[in-house]
Amino acid sequence: MNANQRVVIGVDSSTQATKAVAVDPDTGEVLAEGRAPHIVTGTGGARESDPEQWWQAFTAAVAATGYADRAAAVAVGGQQHGLVALDDQGRPVHPAMLWNDTRSAPQAAALTERLGRAEWARRTGSVPTAAFTVAKWAWLREHHPEAAARAAAVQLPHDYLTGRLTGAATTDRGDASGTGWWGEHGYDKQILDLVGLDTDRLPEVVEPGHAAGAVRSGSPLPAGIPVAAGTGDNMAAALGLGLEPGRPVVSLGTSGTAYAVTRGRPADESGTVAGFADASGGWLPLACTLNCTLAVDRIAALLGRDRAAVEPGGTAVMLPFLDGERTPDLPYASGLLHGLRHDTTPGQLLQAAYDGAAHALLTALDDVLRHGGEAATDAPILLIGGGARGTAWQDTVRRLSGRAVQLPRAAELVALGAAAQATGLLTGEQPAEVARRWGTADGPLLDPLPRDEEALARLADTLLRARSLFEQPDRNG
C-alpha cells in the first residue's frame, strides 16, 4: 500500500447490501472493496428495511476497504424510490419502504386517476407506479397517519446516507426525479399539495458537480473531506459507464432495467418509460422490471436445476412475475406458465423463464430512445449487472434482441459512478468524463444471434391474453 496513494471512495447502497470501492482517481484502478449485507423484511407486497442498518453497513463496508482514513472525497449511490421518513431527531417514524414494495399500488392508481396520465408525464416525466416515492408517501398517510404527521424529513435512501455523513439534508436531480414530486423546474407544489407534503420536509437538490457538504466526525472517513451529491443507483451506473447519449444499456440484477442517457426530456404517458433525469444535467429514460435474476433463480431452484442448465426449443411461455411487475405495470401479477406439452423438458422451462424476464426489457429499448429524442440504433447493448456474467443471460439477450452485446470489464458500476462523482470534486471534471478516461465500458463484444421471432410472438400473445388475470389482487395471497 503506497502511503502517498490518492484515493476516493464510491459507495453503492443497494437493496441487499452496501458495497464500497476505494479507487485511484488518476487511473480508475479499484484498489480495494468492502461489503456488508442489509436485512429486508416483509411478507406479501411489503419490502422494508431499517435505515439505521444502512448506516451500519455503510461504515462497515467503507472501513473494510482499508483506505477509509486516506480518502480524499466520497459519494453515495443508492437504491431509488425508497421512502425514508424521519422525525425531528432524525429517527425513522416507520421502516423504510423499498422500491419493490408494492403495497402502494392502489395509491399509485388513485393518484394517476386524479391528475391523468398525460398530466403526470408532462409534470414529472413519469406516470407513478407502486415503486414511486409519491405513492409510498400516500400509503403511509393513509395507513399510518400518526407516523406521517411526525415526519419532519422525507428522504430517499441515498439522501439518508449522505445526510448522515454531512449533517445536511440534500439530494440530486437524478434521484429526485424518481420520487414523482420533482419536475423539470424543481419540486412540483401542486403534486406536493395533492399528497399533503411541503418542501420544508424535503432535501435541497444539489446541482451536478457540486458538493453536498463535508464529512463530519462519526464515520471511518476523515472529517472535512468533500462529499459529492451522490445519486440514484441507475444514474450512478450510467456515470460509471461514462455513457454517451443514445447508447443503450440493459442491467440484469434483482431488478432489470433498460435505459440510455438522452438529450431530450422524456414524457411517456403510457408509463412504460420513466422520465428520469440523469446526474449530469441530461435525462435518463428508463424501463424497469421487478423480476429478473432472482425470479429466474427461483424457477431454477423449483426445477432442481443449475441456473445455467437451459435447453433450446419447446413452446412453453413463462412470465416469472413472482413479485408483481412494474414493466408492464401489473403490481398484482404472479408467475404464469402457458404452453406446457408432454415433451417439454425442464431445461426448456428454465429457458422460458429467462425469455419471460428479458422480454419486457428488450421490447422497451426502442421506446427508451424514442421518448428521449434519440434515434433508434443498432449499437451493441451494454449488458451489466450480476446476470450479465451468465452465458444463459447473454445468449437470451442476443437471441431476443438480434443485437450484439458488449460486456464491460468493470464491476460495481454504481460504486464506480459514485467514485467518479467524488473524483470530479477533486479534478473539476464531469463524472462521465472521468469514467470514460478510466475506460470503464471497455470489454468483450459478443456477436448478435438471429432474432427469435417465434419466441417473441408467443410471449407477446400470452401477455396480451393473460392481462385480465393480473389486473386485480389475488384473494388468496
- The set of catalytic residues is 233
List C-alpha distances in Å: 251 to 157, 256, 370.
20, 6, 19
**Do residues 225 and 73 touch, judged by C-beta distance below 8 A?**
yes
Would you call 362 helix, strand, or coil by DSSP? Answer: helix
Angstrom distance (rounded) from CA 158 to CA 231 = 7
Helix extents (H) in 151-196 = 157-166, 173-176, 189-194
d(Cα 157, Cα 87) in Å, to the nearest integer?
A: 15
Spatial contact of 388 and 252, defined as CB atoms under 8 Å apart: yes
- Grid look-up 424514442 returns 370
* Grid cell digits, residue 442: 471497455
Among 232, 234, 230, which residue's Cα sits nearest to residue 286? 234
The three cell numbers of residue 443 are 470489454
With vertex at residue 186, the alpha carbon angle to CA 182 and CA 190, rounded to the nearest 5 degrees, is 65
C-alpha closest to that of 84 among 51, 129, 57, 39: 51
- Which segments within 80-120 are labelled E, that is strand? 84-86, 96-97
The residue type found at 247 is R
At residue 281, the 3 state secondary structure works out as coil
Grid cell digits, residue 129: 407506479
